[in-house]
Amino acid sequence: MRYRGLRMVSGFLLSAILGFAPPVLALEVGQPAPQLTVQKFDGSSFNLAAERGKVVIVNFWATWCPPCRAELPALKAVYDRYHSKGLELIALSLDRSHDRNEAVRMMSEYGLPGAMRDDASADGFGQPGTLPVTVIIGPRGEVRAIHTPDQPELTETSLSAVVAPLLARRSSPSAHPTGTVD
């Protein structure tokens, strides 16, 4: 809650810097996830299509964004808890290339897989109009939830409430939960 004002300011600043003000990525819950292929900070490649069968968190953030930094502990806790159960995560930094070292340092500090969005060879997500944005992709490759700054603060509890059921049902062909992160 304390970062809600900062979230909105960060979103407006990003819109001003980028020269436009779309509300968020052009995604809808229930639709197939777009393509995403990017080289991670550790040199390995991340290909969203290759992660089918797993639950994937795609987080858009920047080092200069206080609400983005505030979400990192929750992302880290959920990633640590569920990675061995089939959760993958990629934190895409929207920083400019001269801030790459700071983005690498932050991801290393939190032990999270990260990349620069500008390094993507395929990116169907497009440019977010505000930060942070967190997209949860289900095991069947569909968008299951989107968390944006106009929603309550992303917490370990709220993120787990979406991720855990997807992981529990990922092998069940009839399971198809949808929603947003509270």
The pLDDT tens digits for 2-61 are 444 444 444 444 444 444 444 447 789 999 999 999 999 999 999 999 999 999 999 999
Which tokens belong to 129? 């109009």
User: Does residue 181 belong to any structural domain of this protein?
Assistant: no
Which tokens belong to 54? 């797993």
User: For residues 113 and 120, what is the distance between their CA atoms, to the nearest angstrom?
Assistant: 14
Q: With contact defined as beta carbons under 8 Å apart, do 95 and 64 qualify?
A: yes
User: For residues 28 and 113, what is the distance between their CA atoms, to the nearest angstrom?
Assistant: 25
pLDDT of residue 126: 87
State yes or no: cis peptide before 132, omega within 30 of 0.
yes
User: Does residue 30 belong to any structural domain of this protein?
Assistant: yes
User: Does residue 8 belong to any structural domain of this protein?
Assistant: yes
**pLDDT, tens digit, for every residue of 65-85?**
999 999 999 999 999 999 999
User: Does residue 86 belong to any structural domain of this protein?
Assistant: yes
As a whole number, the mean pLDDT across the chain is 86
User: For residues 150 and 147, what is the distance between their CA atoms, to the nearest angstrom?
Assistant: 8
What is the CB-side half-sphere exposure of residue 75 using CA atoms within 13 A? 31
Q: Which residue has the higher pLDDT, 131 or 9?
A: 131
Q: Are strands 133-137 and 55-61 parallel, antiparallel or unpaired?
A: antiparallel
Residue 9 belongs to domain spanning = 4-168
Rounded to two decimals, the pTM is 0.82
User: Does residue 103 belong to any structural domain of this protein?
Assistant: yes
State yes or no: cis peptide before 32, omega within 30 of 0.
no
User: Does residue 174 belong to any structural domain of this protein?
Assistant: no
Structural domains counted in the chain: 1
The values of phi and psi at residue 153, to 5°, are -50, 135
Q: Which of 161, 134, 120 is nearest to 29 (CA)?
A: 134
Torsion of CA 21, 106, 47, 128, to 10 degrees: 0
Q: Which residue has the higher pLDDT, 182 or 52?
A: 52
User: Does residue 173 belong to any structural domain of this protein?
Assistant: no
User: For residues 34 and 56, what is the distance between their CA atoms, to the nearest angstrom?
Assistant: 12
pLDDT of residue 172: 56
User: Does residue 176 belong to any structural domain of this protein?
Assistant: no
Q: With contact defined as beta carbons under 8 Å apart, do 161 and 170 qualify?
A: no
DSSP H or E run through 33: none
CATH classification at residue 112: 3.40.30.10
